[in-house]
Structure formats: C-alpha cells, structure tokens
Amino acid sequence: MKKVTVVGLGYVGLPTAALIANAGYKVHGVDVNEALISELQSGICRLEEPEVKSAVELALTSGNLVASTEAAEADIFIICVPTPVTRNKLADLSMVRSAINATAPFIRSGNLVILESTSPIGTTDRVIARSLELAGHNLEDIDICYCPERVFPGDTVREILENDRVVGGLTPKAAKRAGSFYQSFCKGKPNLTSAAAAEFSKLMENTFRDVNIALANVFSHIAEQAGVDVMDVIEMANKHPRVNVHTPGPGVGGHCIPVDPWFLIEGFPEEARLLESCRQINDGQAEHFLRLAEKSGLKPGSKVAILGAAYRGDIDDARDTPTEMLIASLGKAGYSYVTHDPHVVRMALHCGYPANLTSDLSETLEDASAAFIMTDHTVYRDLTSDLFSMMRTKLIIDTRRVLNAPEFVEDGFSIIRVGAPTLRASA
C-alpha cells in the first residue's frame, strides 16, 4: 500500500488527507498545531462541514490516517500550509519554507513532492526545489509538482473529488506522475502543465473573482447615487448572453480572494495596477457602509450590532472576513459593537480590536443604534422585525440583501441596502 505524508491539516489539508486515506493509501498527516493533532489522535475533527467530518472520522477509525507533529517517510508528500500576506501585502512564504525544511530529511530518491498551497509564480522552483537541493537532495531523483486546490468551503469533499485540476510539474514526467496520483482518488480531470503555469492559473482564478466582485461593488456605488436598484439592473444586464455581473456586497474574505491578487501585484506591480484598485474597492466596502449609516444618523460612541463573522453564508471560516474590516473601522471611530455568528466560534483578528463574538442574538441587538448584516447565513434570511425591536434605533444596514426590506420598513425601520436607495420608515 502506497504511503502519503500530508503536511498542514487545515481546511484543505485535512479533508485531502482523509479522502486519500479513504481511497486506500496509508496517510501520515502532519501539523505544527499540537492541540489539533491530539484532537485528531482522539478521533475528533474540528472542521464543521458534515461531509468533511465523516470523511475524517472514517479515515481515523480505519487506521489509514494517523496524525502527528512529526513528518514520516512516504512515497508522496503533499504540502498544504498557509500562504498569507504580511501587513505590507507581501507574500509570506515562511510556513512553506519551514514545512519543506522539516520534511526534507524524510524525502528519499524516487519520491513525488507536491505543493498545494496557493503561491506566487516561481515558488515551487525557488522554495521547494531549492530547499530540497540545500538539504542535499539530487533534484533529478525527485519529482516536484505544484497542484493548487480549488475547493469552495461548504462543499469541500465534492469539490476535491470532482473539480478538474491543474497539475504543474517542474518536469513533464513529474506532472504526469502527479496527474496519475490525483486520478487514483479524484474524478476531476488533471490538466498537465508547468509548475509556473499552474501557480499563475490559481492566482488568475482568484484574481478574476476579486476583480469581478470589485466591479459589481462599483456598480452598486453608482446605483446608490443614481437612485436605482443595482440588483434589478444586474438581473437585466445578465440576460445578455456574454455578460455575467457578480453580486455586490460587504467585500471579499477567506484565505484566498483577498490575498492571492497581492502575489501578482507584488511580482508585477506595473502590469497589475487594476488589481490593486480592485483590492482597495473590496477592502473599502465595510467603511463605505459605515459612512452610509452615519449619513442616516449613526453617531460614534454608540453600540453597533454585527450579524455575521464568516466571510460567506453557512460556513465557520472567518479568516480575512469583511467583518474584520468593519470592526477595524468601528474601533477606530470609537463605536462599541457585538458580533453575532451561529457558526463561527473563534476569530483571530489582525486589526488590533477584539471580535466580541457571541451566538446570542439578543445580546447583539439589545440597545444597538444600528445592525450591520455582513453574512448571508440562512438563519438571517428568516429574521423578522420583532426580534430587532430591542434596538435603540431602528437602522439596519443589509450588505447582503437577506432581509424582507418592505416588511421591516412597514414596522418602522430604515434599511440601507447594498446598491439601492435607502428605504426609510414613513413618519
């Protein structure tokens, strides 16, 4: 039975390790997070998605997946550690470097090494291959590849198994070998290419999303000024057979979309000026909504209710969430706030302000002078105006268009909606 070592057991690495194990490989999962490893060793999966949980539990029970803080010898190595940007928006590849350096002593001649972390163009060569060379390996004896993950959180298992893959090798032989490996446990087609093309493809995919969402947000600003509803206009425009305007909202979040365009901006600053503007537009959305609320009478010093910490509906991931941008703006302007989320249990914020996170909606809304709906969780769609009656001021900023606005207006609320004129309660 072939052995696989997976380094980094997070949102991507853990389900990947479990699915490989469930396909019959012996998988050794490695992570530097000791608490995570002891949970896994006790059979506990901290990820919330039901299909991920059951895949991980099955893999652990079968004994095909074991978890450890130390790497181990294997035929195939997969590295899936975080690749964030620094405060100055430069690629932080320190975790890729330490992962490959800690793994290098376990790699043998004839092994296949795959980097899955989203990375700047050239990383597989400059970081993975060079580190192995510095560790004394002969690169002619090791197949090295880049294969980005394309999963959509919330549907992780199906997407790992079914999405087509871009498999880039430092040599065509390495790409072919990695392609066959993915085909042994995935149904998606592997598209074989070079490592640099595969790295660029992943960055292009996420930058495409960022730019299109920024464009939708610009349309929403124009609609707010022009007094029309952007959603009606988008619906009409999208009837054009070659137009697909995205949905405006509070910005973008997660480990990918707000991060990956910076890898292109850092590497190609002249060529990527459009990408930098789009980053600023999406990161400025929370501040934009705060300004609209202040125009409707919200005053610094008052309490604000934030509904939603996750960056997308019905998931528990709050990394780089637009809610963090809102919290930063509120904190700077001297507001107090409470953040509600039914799925997110912890938030690691980089903005220097606390999350004030709760799963108690009354604690969030009580005495608030405005409620910002930041996430389209299904539970928020069913909220009725009576729940909001404990607010001090009846002002709601619906950045996701989840509420039944006319019903709220009838009950005396003013509703600021993304890309539409504010609806005010009749006096």
Ligand X SMILES: NC(=O)c1ccc[n+]([C@@H]2O[C@H](COP(=O)([O-])OP(=O)(O)OC[C@H]3O[C@@H](n4cnc5c(N)ncnc54)[C@H](O)[C@@H]3O)[C@@H](O)[C@H]2O)c1
- Supply the residues annotated as catalytic: 202, 256
**Which has the closest alpha carbon to 309: 341, 332, 338?**
341
Q: What contacts 85, CB < 8 A, 6 or more positions away?
A: 91, 92, 259, 262, 263
Region class of 63: left (phi > 0), else alpha (psi between -120 and 50), else beta: left
Closest to 342 measured CA to CA, from 291, 292, 382:
382
Q: Which two tokens stand for residue 152?
A: 């959509």
SS3 201: helix
167 touching ligand X, by CB under 6 A:
no
Between CA 29 and CA 46 the distance in angstroms is 15
Closest to 147 (Cα-Cα) out of 78, 72, 95, 75: 78
The yes or no reply on residue 151 touching ligand X (CB under 6 A) is: yes
Token pair 């320190």 is at which residue?
Answer: 94
Question: At its nearest, how many Å lie between ligand X and the CB of residue 153?
Answer: 5
Question: Considering the rule CB under 6 A, would residue 128 count as an interface residue with ligand X?
Answer: no
4 makes contact with ligand X (CB under 6 A): no
Considering beta carbons, is residue 51 or 367 the nearer one to ligand X?
A: 51
Which of 32, 405 has the CB closer to ligand X?
32
Distant-in-sequence, close-in-space partners of 320: CB < 8 Å, separation ≥ 6:
253, 254, 255, 258, 259, 311
176 and 192 Cβ atoms separated by less than 8 Å:
yes
> Near ligand X by CB under 6 A, which window of 78-86, 131-139, 160-168, 193-201?
78-86
Question: Residue 98, interface with ligand X (CB under 6 A)?
Answer: yes
Q: In angstroms, what is the C-alpha Rg of the chain?
A: 23
> Based on CB atoms, which residue is closest to ligand X, 145 or 396?
145
**Position among 64, 111, 117, 285 found at the interface with ligand X (CB under 6 A):** 117
Smallest gap from Cβ 380 to ligand X, in A, equals: 22
**Is the CB of 70 or the CB of 232 nearer to ligand X?**
70
For residue 295, the minimal CB distance to ligand X (Å) is: 36
- Tell the smallest beta-carbon distance from residue 317 to ligand X (Å): 7
As measured in angstroms, the least distance from the Cβ of 175 to ligand X is 19
Residue list 15-34, contact with ligand X (CB under 6 A): 30-33
Select from 93-101, 222-230, 235-243, 378-386 the region that touches ligand X (CB under 6 A): 93-101
- Which among 148-156, 158-166, 277-285, 339-347 is the span making contact with ligand X, rule CB under 6 A? 148-156
CA–CA distance, 238 with 241 (Å, rounded to integer)? 7
Asked if 149 touches ligand X (CB under 6 A), the answer is: yes
Asked whether position 67 contacts ligand X by CB under 6 A, the answer is: no
Task: Return the DSSP state at 359.
Answer: S
Indicate whether 55 belongs to the interface with ligand X (CB under 6 A).
no
CB 168 within 8 A of CB 147: yes
What is the C-alpha separation between 380 and 417, in angstroms, rounded?
15
Helical H runs in 227-284? Answer: 230-237, 260-267, 273-283
| Cα separation of the two ends of the chain | 74
Q: Does 72 bind ligand X (CB under 6 A)?
A: no
Q: Which of 76, 81, 203, 347 binds ligand X (CB under 6 A)?
A: 81
Nearer to ligand X, 30 or 214 (CB): 30
State yes or no: residue 68 binds ligand X (CB under 6 A): no
**Under rule CB under 6 A, residue 8 binds ligand X:** yes
- Closer to ligand X by CB, 114 or 391: give it: 114
Q: Give residues in contact with ligand X (CB under 6 A).
A: 7-13, 30-33, 36, 80-83, 95, 98-99, 117-118, 149, 151, 153, 255-256
